[in-house]
Amino acid sequence: MSMKIECEECKAILTDAINVCHICGGKLKVIKLKFNDSVGIYDGFRLKKKQGTGKRKVRLDSFSGYERSNDGNLVYKERIIDQDENRYYEKVVDGEGNVIRECDEKLTEHKGRGSAKNKQ
């Protein structure tokens, strides 16, 4: 990775981003980063609908996006936990498009996985 710092006003090359520009006295800087390796950016989106306050008041919890699986591989996951519609939906897809897990059932019947596991 390489980094270049320029004064935004006069475009002078600066040695650090802390001080004012030694040419024009400007305070705004542009920092340009150049990556030599490829970088993957993956995101996710979570939506929670609550009734009142507190953890147990979540009525809808929805997630869609990328995350790491237990074995460290990147997977795409969609999950909906809907108290009002009594629905649990989850679909996990690996990087090659293969479905690892797909579950669509009543939330009251969803037992034995994740936080629904019986506590010992």
Is the C-alpha dihedral spanning 64, 70, 95, 91 positive or negative?
A: negative
pLDDT by position in tens, the chain (length 120) = 688 889 989 999 888 777 788 889 888 888 888 777 766 778 888 998 888 766 668 899 999 999 888 888 899 999 999 999 999 999 999 989 999 999 999 999 988 776 666 554
- Strand pairing report for 58-68 and 74-82: antiparallel
pLDDT of the residue at 117: 60
Q: The pTM is what?
A: 0.59
Residue 19: name the closest of 5, 33, 2 by CA. 5
Phi-psi region of 10 (alpha: psi -120 to 50; beta: other; left: phi over 0): alpha
Q: Are 26 and 8 in contact (CB under 8 A)?
A: yes
Q: Are 16 and 3 in contact (CB under 8 A)?
A: no
Domain chopping of the chain, boundaries: 2-34, 44-116
